[in-house]
Copies of this chain bind each other. A is one copy, B any other.
Amino acid sequence: MASPLHAPYLRLKQEAKNGFGQEALSNRVLDLALTSLEYLKHDCNAVELDSHVPGKEYWSYVKKGTKALSRPVNLKHFSLDGDYLTKSWNSWVAGKGDLGSPQLLYTLATAYGVASDLFDRGNKKAPATFFEIFVAHLFARSSGIEPAKKARFPVEGKQVALTMDFLFDPGEKGLKLHLPVKMSSRERVVQAWAHHRVLEAAFGAAKYKGILVVHSETKLALKTGEVVEICVPDQWLAYQVYVARMERIYYFDVPGRYAALAKEFPNLFSIENIAEFFKKKDGLKEFLFPAPPKPAGQ
Contact = CB atoms under 8 A, between A and B. Distances in A.
Contacts of A187: 188
Interface in A182-204: 187-188, 190-191, 193-195, 197-198, 201-202
Contacts of A191: 190-191, 194
A234 B162 contact: yes
Interface string A236-248: 0111011100000
A189 to B, nearest CB: 10
Contact of A268 (B156, B197, B198): B156
Interface residues of A, number: 28
Contacts of A195: 190
B238 A162 contact: yes
| Count of chain copies | 2
A202 B160 contact: no
Contact of A160 (B156, B190, B237, B268): B237
Interface of A: 153, 155-156, 158, 160-162, 187-188, 190-191, 193-195, 197-198, 201-202, 234-235, 237-239, 241-243, 265, 268
Q: Which 8 A-B pairs have the closest CB atoms?
A: A201-B242, A160-B234, A194-B194, A190-B194, A198-B242, A155-B237, A198-B238, A155-B241
